[in-house]
Structure 1
Amino acid sequence: MPSKLKVKKSLLTTYYQFIEIIKEEKVFLTVIGICFFAAGYGYQYANIAMWFGFMFAAYSAVANDSIQTIGTFLSSNSDKKWYTLWLYIGGIFLVTVTYSWITHSGDVSYQRLSTDALSQAPTSFTFLQIAAPIFLLIITRMRMPVSTTFLILSCFSADLAGIVDMLGKSMIGYVTAFVIGIIVWSLVSRWISSHFVGEAKPYWRVLQWITSGCLWSVWVMQDIANVAVYLPRSLNTYQFLGFASFIFAGLGVIFYLRGDKIQEIVTEKSHTTDVRSATIIDFIYAILLFFFKELSHIPMSTTWVFIGLLAGRELAMSLMDQDGFGKPFKKSFKLIRRDILYAAIGLLISVILAISINPDINTEIMQLIGLE
C-alpha cells in the first residue's frame, strides 16, 4: 500500500512539474506551434518554402551556435548595452557576407556549398527539410550544443558520401581542438591562475573585441552555408538584401536575450566570464576555424571543434592547477561527457532526418549494413 502511494505521489509531482514547464514556456511553445503550422503549409510551394526554411534556419542556427562565437563575448561583456554589442557583431556579419557575395558571384557561403553533395539548390522541399531548423530551436531551448551542420545540411545531402565527408572532417576537428586545448592550457593554466587576478587591464577589453570580431567573421565563413542551403546558390540583389537584413535583425534578438538559455553552456565553464580567458579561447578557436576553412570546402561542425577546445581546456585546468582555478576532475569529466552526449544525439537526429527525407541515403545505409 505505501508503495502505491509513493507511485501516485511521484506521478503527481511529475504532472505538476510538466504543468509548470508548460506555463513557463507557453510563449515559446506557441511560437514553435506557429512555425510548424507554417512549415506544413509552405513546404508544398518552393518559392515560399525556401524563405520559410531560410528564416527558421537563420535564427535557429545562429541562436544555437552563438555559444561558440559570441558566447564568451556576451559573458565577458555583460556590463555593456546589448545594442552596442549587436551593432558591432552585426556590422562584421554584413561586411563578411557582402564580401563573399561580391567575390563569389552571388554565393554568400564562401563556396561551402560547392561540394558535389550540396552544389544544386533545391527546387522542391519536404516538410522535414523545412521543419529541421524548428527541431533545432527546441534542442537549443534545452541547452544542447548540437551541430547545426549535421542537422540541417544532412537534410539536403545528395548522397551518404556527403554526410560521411562532413562527419570525418568534424571528428578530426574535435580531436585536433581537444589536443590543442590540453597542450595550451597545460602550459599556461598555472601562469593564468597566478596572473589573471583582480581587474583586467583596459587593453584586454580591446584585444577581446578584436579576437571576437575575427572569430565571428571566420565562423560566418564556415557556417553560413547552414542557412544559405535553402536559397539559390547565386543570390540576386533583392534576395541578398532579404538574406542579410533578416539575419542582422535576428542577431539583435539574440543579443537582447543575452544568448538565452544556451548561453549557460559557456558560463558554467571555468572563468569564461573573465575577459582575459575569453580572449584566449576566442583567439585559439578562430585560428582552428580558419585552418579548417582553408583545408577544404567540405562543411564541418564548428560545434564539435568548440566543445573539443573547451573539453581540452577544462581537462588541462583540472589536471595542472593546484590552486582551485579549474573545476575538480570528476566535475570537468562530467561536463565533457555531457557535451559529447548532446553532440552525439544531434548527429543521430540528423541521420534519422536524412534517411527520412532522402530514400537514396536510406538505401545506401541498408546496403552498407547488409540489410539490402
Structure 2
Amino acid sequence: MSISHSGTSLAQSFINFRFTFFNLIRSEQHFLLLIAVLFFIAGFSYPYPGIAMWVGFMLAGYSAIANDSIQTVGTFISSNQNKAWWILWLFIGLIFVATTSYSWAVFDGDVSFQRLTAKGFETAPQSFTFLQLAAPIFLLILTRMRMPVSTTFLLLSCFSADVAGIEKMLLKSVSGYGVAFVGAYLVWLILSQSGLIKFKGKAHPGWSVAQWISSGSLWAVWIMQDAANIAVYLPRSLSLEALIFMNSFIFLGLGLLFYLRGGRIQEVVTQKTDVLDVRPATIIDLVYALVLLFFVWVSVIPMSTTWVFIGLLAGRELGMRTFLKKEDKTMSATFRLIGKDLLFALIGLAVSITLAAATNPAIFAEIFNR
C-alpha cells in the first residue's frame, strides 16, 4: 500500500514538473518572439526620425517603468496585495499625469523637469541609430532576467555627446548610492536602538494612509528625476497633443504593470526583509523620496535612481542584520544579497557604456584613446 502511494506521488510530481517546465518554455518562446518583433520594428523605424522618436519613446516608456517599478511602486505593490490592482493603478497613474503636466506647463513644454537641459542632452535628436531604438529592448531583456539595472545609463548614454556627460551621471549616481546607503543605515540604527522598528501585530490604519502619501510623494519625485529617460527621444518642447499621447501611453502601461503585480522584477523587492508589512514599506519610501528630493535640488544632471535604490536597500538590510540580529538570515547572506544587486547594476553600466560607444564614434574613440 505504501509503495503504491509512493509511486502515485512520484508520478504526480513528474506530471506537475512537466507541466511547469513546458509552461515556462512556452512563456519564454512568447517573450523571445516579442523581442524579435520589437527588434524588427526598431530596424524598420530608425531611418525615419518622425516615426523613430515615437517608437523609441514607447519602447523606452514601457521598459524603463517595468524595470524601475521596483524602486518606486515595488514596496507599494508588495504591501497592498489585498487591494484591487485598478485602485493602485489609478492612484499612481494619475500622479504621473499630474506631475508631467506640471513640468510641461512650468518649463515651456519640457516634461523632464529640466533634466534634459544638462550639457550633452539639451538638443533633441534629429536622426536616430538602430542601437538608440534597440536600447530599450535590451533593457526589457535585462528586466526579464530580474536585473535592477540603471535605465538612466542604458537609455541616456546612447544620446550623450561625449564621455564627460556619462562621467557626470556616474559621479552623481555613485554619490546617490553612498548617501542612500548611509542614510538608510542610520535610520534603521536609530529606529532599532529605540525599539520603534520592532513592528508586531496588525498595523494601525494610519500606517496605510501614511504609506499611500509616502509612495505617492516618492513616485512624483522619481518622475522628476527619470522622466528624462523616456523624453530623451522626443522634442524638448512638446505640443499639447504630444503631451496627451505621452501621458495616455504611460498611463495604460502602468495599468498593465499593476495588473501583473510588478512582474518578475518585483522579486528584487519581495526577497528583502519585511517589505510586505506596510510600516517598514512606508519608511523605505519616505527615506528614498527624501534622498531623491535632495538630488533633484542639487543639480539638473540626470542620475541613476536605481543606484540610489539599491544603496537604500543595502543600508537597510545591513542595519537590520547588525542591530536586530534576526535569525532568518546570516550576515554573509546579507552581504551576498547586497553584492548581487550591486553586481547587476555594474553589469547594466557595462552594457550602457558599450551601447554608448557603439552608437557614438566620438565616445568610442575617446574611451579607447585614453
Which residue in the other structure is 1:357 paired with?
359
Q: In structure 2, give the amino acid aligned to 1:298.
A: I
- Tell me: CA distance 1:19–1:200, structure 2 relative to 1, closer, same or farther (3 Å): closer
Contact 1:96 1:217 in 2 (8 A): yes
Query: Quick check: 1:258 aligned with 2:261?
Result: yes
Which residue in the other structure is 1:144 paired with?
147
CA deviation map 1:38-87 (0-9, x unaligned): 00100111111101100000000001000000000000000000000000
In the TM superposition, what are the counterparts of 1:46-125 in structure 2 within 5 Å? 46-125=49-128
Instruction: Give the 3-state SS of the residue equivalent to 1:154 in structure 2.
Output: helix
After TM superposition, give the deviation of residue 307 of structure 1 in Å.
Answer: 0.3
CA deviation map 1:148-171 (0-9, x unaligned): 000000000011100000000000
TM-score, normalised via structure 1 length: 0.92
- Tell me: CA distance 1:195–1:29, structure 2 relative to 1, closer, same or farther (3 Å): same
Contact 1:317 1:327 in 2 (8 A): no
In the TM superposition, what are the counterparts of 1:171-182 in structure 2 within 5 Å? 171-182=174-185
- Quick one: which of 180, 183, 186 aligns to 1:183? 186
Which residue in the other structure is 1:345 paired with?
347
CA deviation map 1:124-161 (0-9, x unaligned): 00000000000000100110000000000000001110
After TM superposition, give the deviation of residue 33 of structure 1 in Å.
Answer: 1.4
Contact 1:193 1:323 in 2 (8 A): no
- Tell me: CA distance 1:323–1:231, structure 2 relative to 1, closer, same or farther (3 Å): closer
- Tell me: CA distance 1:122–1:102, structure 2 relative to 1, closer, same or farther (3 Å): same
Which segments of 5 or more consecutive residues in structure 2 lack a partner in the other structure? 1-19
In the TM superposition, what are the counterparts of 1:248-287 in structure 2 within 5 Å? 248-287=251-290
After TM superposition, give the deviation of residue 327 of structure 1 in Å.
Answer: 2.9
Instruction: Give the 3-state SS of the residue equivalent to 1:55 in structure 2.
Output: helix
Which segments of 5 or more consecutive residues in structure 1 lack a partner in the other structure? 1-16
Which residue in the other structure is 2:208 paired with?
205
- Tell me: CA distance 1:53–1:110, structure 2 relative to 1, closer, same or farther (3 Å): same
Deviating 4+ runs (over 3 angstroms): 17-22, 190-195
Contact 2:49 2:126 in 1 (8 A): yes
Which residue in the other structure is 1:154 paired with?
157
Identity of aligned pairs, percent? 58
Contact 1:314 1:327 in 2 (8 A): no
After TM superposition, give the deviation of residue 195 of structure 1 in Å.
Answer: 3.8
Q: Distance in 1 between matches of 2:21 and 2:151?
A: 28
CA deviation map 1:183-223 (0-9, x unaligned): 11122135557741111000000000000000000000100
Instruction: Give the 3-state SS of the residue equivalent to 1:273 in structure 2.
Output: coil
After TM superposition, give the deviation of residue 20 of structure 1 in Å.
Answer: 7.0
Aligned residues: 351
Instruction: Give the 3-state SS of the residue equivalent to 2:235 in structure 1.
Output: coil
Q: In structure 1, give the amino acid aligned to 2:189.
A: S
Query: Quick check: 1:128 aligned with 2:131?
Result: yes
TM-score, normalised via structure 2 length: 0.92
Query: Quick check: 1:288 aligned with 2:291?
Result: yes
- Tell me: CA distance 1:130–1:18, structure 2 relative to 1, closer, same or farther (3 Å): farther
- RMSD over equivalenced CA pairs, Å: 1.5
Q: Distance in 2 between matches of 1:323 and 1:153?
A: 40
Q: Distance in 1 between matches of 2:280 and 2:83?
A: 18
Which residue in the other structure is 1:164 paired with?
167
Q: Distance in 2 between matches of 1:146 and 1:185?
A: 25
